[in-house]
Structure 1
Amino acid sequence: MTQRATKRPEGFVKPAHWTNDPAPAPKAAKDEPDPRGLSPTRYGDWEQNGIAVDF
């Protein structure tokens, strides 16, 4: 079994943008009214020119 590296190689310099801070919590989704009718993300299909389109 190959051992896993647990230390960085000599001469490694951590990039300035790296951080140990935890990832931010996701923001709550906004429930915005759909100006064209029913929400496609809720009902699963889109309507274009009177034809239901499902992807």
Structure 2
Amino acid sequence: MSEKPLQRATERPASFTKPAHWSNDPVPAPAAPKDEEDPEGLSPTRYGDFTRKGIAWDF
């Protein structure tokens, strides 16, 4: 049995209206990371684990 593949849409339906929040503007560049000192020691987001009361765990 040879079934034909489904036809893909190449255009939007005529009834489609673009939402107001859509635009063709390029994506903005990400903000530079803030380099803040960690008052309790090593930053878990930088080193990959938390330490609390002598116990370390990964997230």
Give the distance between the partners of 1:34 and 1:42, measured in 2 at CA: 11
Letter in 2 for 1:52: A
State how many pairs are aligned. 55
Residue 39 of structure 2, aligned match among 35, 38, 48? 35
Q: Which has the larger radius of gyration?
A: 2
Segments of 4+ in structure 1 off by > 4 A?
Answer: none
Give the distance between the partners of 2:26 and 2:8, measured in 1 at CA: 24
Q: TM-score, normalised by structure 1?
A: 0.77
Query: What is the aligned-residue RMSD (CA, Å)?
Result: 1.5
Letter in 2 for 1:36: E
Structure 1: gaps spanning 5 or more residues:
none
Q: Provide the identity percentage.
A: 69
Give the distance between the partners of 2:54 and 2:40, measured in 1 at CA: 11
Q: TM-score, normalised by structure 2?
A: 0.73
